[in-house]
């Protein structure tokens, strides 16, 4: 997966809603299956988590079965 091939422009730091949209899943599935993992890199702004597309792609590639 390449970030150059995304159809929508995303900011560098993604919210959970933007991250789930980038991955093509709903935010509830993101919260249930992806967000709880400690090996998902995140950036904290106050108490809010932000994600990069690179970190999301790395996580998905690492957990592909």
Interval 2-16: pLDDT, tens: 555 556 899 999 999
Output the pLDDT for position 7: 60
**Domain range for residue 51?**
11-62
Q: What is the pLDDT of residues 31-52, one digit of tens each?
A: 999 999 999 999 999 999 999 9
Residue 27 lies in a domain: yes
3-state class of 61 per DSSP?
A: helix
Residue 3 lies in a domain: no
Q: What's the number of domains the chain is made of?
A: 1
Q: Give this prediction's pTM.
A: 0.83
Residue 5 lies in a domain: no
Residue 29 lies in a domain: yes
Q: Using CA of residue 15, residue 17, residue 48, residue 33, what is the dihedral sign?
A: negative
How many CA atoms lie less than 13 Å away from 57 in the CB half-sphere? 10
Cβ count near 20 (within 10 Å): 21
Segment holding 45, helix H or strand E: strand 43-45
Residue 50 lies in a domain: yes
d(CA 11, CA 39): 22
């Amino acid at each position: 997966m390449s970030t150059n091939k995304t159809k929508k422009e995303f900011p560098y730091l993604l919210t959970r809603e933007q991250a789930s949209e980038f991955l093509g899943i709903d935010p509830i599935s993101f919260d249930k299956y992806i967000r709880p993992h400690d090996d998902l890199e995140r950036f904290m702004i106050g108490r809010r988590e932000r994600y990069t597309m690179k970190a999301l792609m790395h996580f998905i590639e690492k957990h592909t079965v």
